[in-house]
Amino acid sequence: MSLQVAGLSKRYGPLLAVDDVTFTVEDGGALGLVGESGSGKTTTARIIAGLERADAGTVMVDGADRAGPARGRGQRLNRARQIQMVFQDPYLSLDPRLTTTEALGEIVALHEPGSRHSRRHRVAELLDQVGLGQREAAALPRQLSGGQRQRVAIARTLAARPRLLILDEAVAALDVSIQAQILNLLIDLRRQTGIGYLFVSHDLAVVRYVTEQVAVMHSGRIVEQGATHEVLARPQHAYTRLLLASVPRRGWDPAAVSRARRDLHDTTSDKETV
Amino acid sequence: MTALAINNLTVELPAVARRPLVADVTLQVGAGEVVGLVGESGSGKSVTARAALGLFPPSAQVTGSVRVAGTEVVGLTGQALRRLRAEQVAMVFQDPRASINPLRRVGDFLTEALRANRGWSKAKALTRAVELLTEVGIAQPGVAVRKYPHQFSGGMLQRVMIASALAVEPVLLLADEPTTALDVTTQAEILATLLSAQAERAMAMLFVTHDLELAATICDRIAVMYAGRIVEEQPAQRLFDAPQHPYTRGLLTATPKLPAGGDAASSDVAPLVPVAGRPLSLAENPAGCAFAPRCPIVVDDCAAATPVTRVRDGASVACHRADELIGRDA
**B128-187 per-position pLDDT tens digit:** 999 999 999 998 999 999 999 999 998 999 999 999 999 989 999 999 999 988 888 889
Q: Which residues of A touch B258 (CB under 8 A)?
A: 204-205, 208, 232, 244, 247, 249
Listed by number, the residues of chain A in 2-41 with a beta carbon closer than 8 Å to a beta carbon of chain B are 36-37
Q: Quick one: pLDDT at residue B45? A: 94
Q: Quick one: pLDDT at residue B246? A: 95
Domain co-membership, A134 together with A265: no
Tell whether A173 is within 8 A of chain B (Cβ).
no
Domain co-membership, A15 together with A68: yes
> Whole-angstrom Cα distance, residue A254 to residue A259?
9
pLDDT tens digits along B61-75: 999 999 999 999 999
Per the CB < 8 Å rule, is B264 touching A183? no
Per the CB < 8 Å rule, is B185 touching A257? yes
pLDDT at B5 over 90: yes
Question: SS3 of B310, please?
Answer: strand
Q: Quick one: pLDDT at residue B264? A: 52
Structural element, H or E, at residue A191: helix A176-193
pLDDT at B272 over 80: yes
Residue with more model confidence, B134 or B266: B134
Tell whether B79 is within 8 A of chain A (Cβ).
no
Domain co-membership, A15 together with A131: yes
Domain co-membership, A59 together with A174: yes
Chain B nearest-CA residue for A252: B217
Q: Quick one: pLDDT at residue B266? A: 63
Domain co-membership, A213 together with A251: no
Q: Quick one: pLDDT at residue B71? A: 93
Tell whether A144 is within 8 A of chain B (Cβ).
no
pLDDT tens digits along A184-234: 999 999 999 999 999 999 999 999 999 999 999 999 999 999 999 999 999
ipTM over 0.90: no
Per the CB < 8 Å rule, is A36 touching B251? no
Contacts of B102 (CB under 8 A, 6+ apart): B148, B149, B150
> Whole-angstrom Cα distance, residue A155 to residue A129?
8
Tell whether B278 is within 8 A of chain A (Cβ).
yes
| Cα torsion A54, A60, A65, A66: sign | negative
Q: Domains in chain A: how many in total?
A: 2
Low-confidence ranges of chain A (pLDDT < 50): 269-274
Q: Which domain holds residue A164?
A: 3-236
| pTM for this predicted structure | 0.89
Residue A105 is part of a domain; what is its CATH number? 3.40.50.300
Tell whether A208 is within 8 A of chain B (Cβ).
yes
Tell whether B270 is within 8 A of chain A (Cβ).
no
Domain co-membership, A228 together with A242: no
Tell whether A232 is within 8 A of chain B (Cβ).
yes
Domain co-membership, A245 together with A232: no
Cα dihedral A64, A69, A72, A74, rounded to 10, equals 40
Tell whether A176 is within 8 A of chain B (Cβ).
yes
Q: Quick one: pLDDT at residue B322? A: 82
> Are B242 and B313 spatial neighbours (Cβ–Cβ below 8 Å)?
no
Q: Tell me which of B34, B43, B156, B185 to substitute to probe the interface with A (most A C-beta atoms closer than 10 Å).
A: B185
> Whole-angstrom Cα distance, residue B174 to residue B179?
13
Q: Which residues of B touch A261 (CB under 8 A)?
A: 185, 188-189
Domain co-membership, A129 together with A141: yes
Domain co-membership, A126 together with A162: yes
Sheet with B61-68: list strands edge to edge.
B22-29, B4-12, B61-68, B71-72
> Are B141 and B130 spatial neighbours (Cβ–Cβ below 8 Å)?
yes
Structural element, H or E, at residue A21: strand A15-25
Q: For residue A234, give the amino acid letter.
A: R
Domain co-membership, A182 together with A256: no
Q: Quick one: pLDDT at residue B203? A: 96
Domains and CATH numbers, chain B: 4-88+169-256+272-325 (3.40.50.300), 101-167 (no CATH)
Q: Quick one: pLDDT at residue A162? A: 94
Cross-chain CB nearest to A249 (options B192, B195, B213): B213
Q: Quick one: pLDDT at residue B328? A: 52
Domain co-membership, A149 together with A274: no
> Whole-angstrom Cα distance, residue A197 to residue B135?
45
Domain co-membership, A155 together with A256: no
Tell whether A254 is within 8 A of chain B (Cβ).
yes
> Are B3 and B89 spatial neighbours (Cβ–Cβ below 8 Å)?
no
